[in-house]
Amino acid sequence: MSKVLIVDDDEDIAELISLILKKEQIESKIINNSVMALDFIKDPNFDYDLILLDIMMPDLSGTELCSKIRDLVNIPIIFVSAKSEMVDKIVGYELGGDDYITKPFDNTELLLKVKSHLRLNKRNNKGNGKVINIGKISLNTESYEVKNNGEKVDLSTREFELLRYLMENAGIALSKEQIYEAVWGSEYGDIGTVAVNIKSLRDKLNDNDEYIITIWGYGYKFNKSVDLND
């Protein structure tokens, strides 16, 4: 049974989410204090599969908590927040979040996103060990590691899947719709999230349009003939 940690200082919302998950046979634990949540995640026996994280919490905000726990665990993190501006979503993705749900949320959307990320995480952990090397970027599907010029790059689960899809199809022009369908599947969401994650991925790879090429009005293409001497 999958296990989800819910970190939200709003007890009513946390209980609602827990009930939604329970109906789908997904175990959950609620922690209403972000500092206590950090201590819980630091425990060597922490074995949860996904974290649902509120942003606006006292003492330690959700974005601060996300930044801290990304050094501790490599599981999907979904922000659940009343903050709906695009800049808030971009910050969430750049700090290591994998997805973003705005309050008040649709119960079905929440459940679809949670189940999608749980499947994605399970699939990634089973990887076949294939290593993809293009230019100075190396992606290992088993260890779930990405390196740029030998230096490890920390990516969220969704950013990793996005990069893998682009690299596996290097040299092919991919529409935003193709990318969204391949990486996000049939879950609820906005196709605009493709551009948000592309930007975050570029920033983390220090990519100045050398690897991920924008095809204006269509989508993106991963450059398969990068000059290693650059």
**CA distance linking residue 27 with residue 48, whole number of Å:** 9
**CA distance linking residue 200 with residue 38, whole number of Å:** 24
Least confident of 5-14, 112-121, 127-136: 127-136
Kindly write down the DSSP assignment for every residue of the chain, as one continuous string. Answer: --EEEEE-S-HHHHHHHHHHHHTTT-EEEEE--HHHHHHHHHSTT---SEEEE-S--SSS-HHHHHHHHTTT--S-EEEEES---HHHHHHHHHTT--EEEESSPPHHHHHHHHHHHHHHHHHHHT----EEEETTEEEETTTTEEEETTEEE---HHHHHHHHHHHHTTTS-EEHHHHHHHHHTTSS--TTHHHHHHHHHHHHHT-SSSSEEEETTTEEEE-S---TT-
Predicted confidence (pLDDT) per residue in 141-190, tens digit: 877 889 998 899 988 888 999 999 999 999 999 999 999 988 887 665 67
Question: How confident is the model at residue 37, as a pLDDT?
Answer: 95
Parse the chain into domains and list their residue ranges. 3-124, 131-222
pTM over 0.85: no
Quickly name the fold that domain 131-222 has: Arc Repressor Mutant, subunit A (1.10.10)
Sign of CA dihedral 31, 102, 3, 145: negative
pLDDT bin (cut points 50, 70, 90) of residue 12 is: very high
Contacts of 15 (CB under 8 A, 6+ apart): 30
Question: How confident is the model at residue 125, as a pLDDT?
Answer: 60
Does residue 222 contact residue 171 with C-beta atoms inside 8 Å? Answer: yes
What amino acid occupies position 229?
N
pLDDT above 80: residue 121:
no
Contacts of 12 (CB under 8 A, 6+ apart): none
pLDDT bin (cut points 50, 70, 90) of residue 58 is: confident
Predicted confidence (pLDDT) per residue in 195-209, tens digit: 999 999 999 999 888
pLDDT above 80: residue 227:
no
Q: Rounded mean pLDDT of 108-122? A: 86
pLDDT above 70: residue 72:
yes
Q: Which two tokens stand for residue 156?
A: 């969220």
Other beta carbons within 10 angstroms of residue 228's beta carbon come to 8
Other beta carbons within 10 angstroms of residue 144's beta carbon come to 16
What amino acid occupies position 184?
W
**CA distance linking residue 144 with residue 171, whole number of Å:** 23
**CA distance linking residue 93 with residue 154, whole number of Å:** 12
Q: Rounded mean pLDDT of 71-76? A: 82
Q: What percent of the chain has pLDDT over 70?
A: 93
**CA distance linking residue 94 with residue 196, whole number of Å:** 9
Question: How confident is the model at residue 47, as a pLDDT?
Answer: 87
pLDDT bin (cut points 50, 70, 90) of residue 124 is: low
Q: What is the mean pLDDT of the chain?
A: 87
Does residue 14 contact residue 8 with C-beta atoms inside 8 Å? Answer: yes
Predicted confidence (pLDDT) per residue in 84-106, tens digit: 777 778 888 888 888 889 888 89
The arrangement of secondary structure in 3-124, i.e. its CATH architecture, is 3-Layer(aba) Sandwich (3.40)
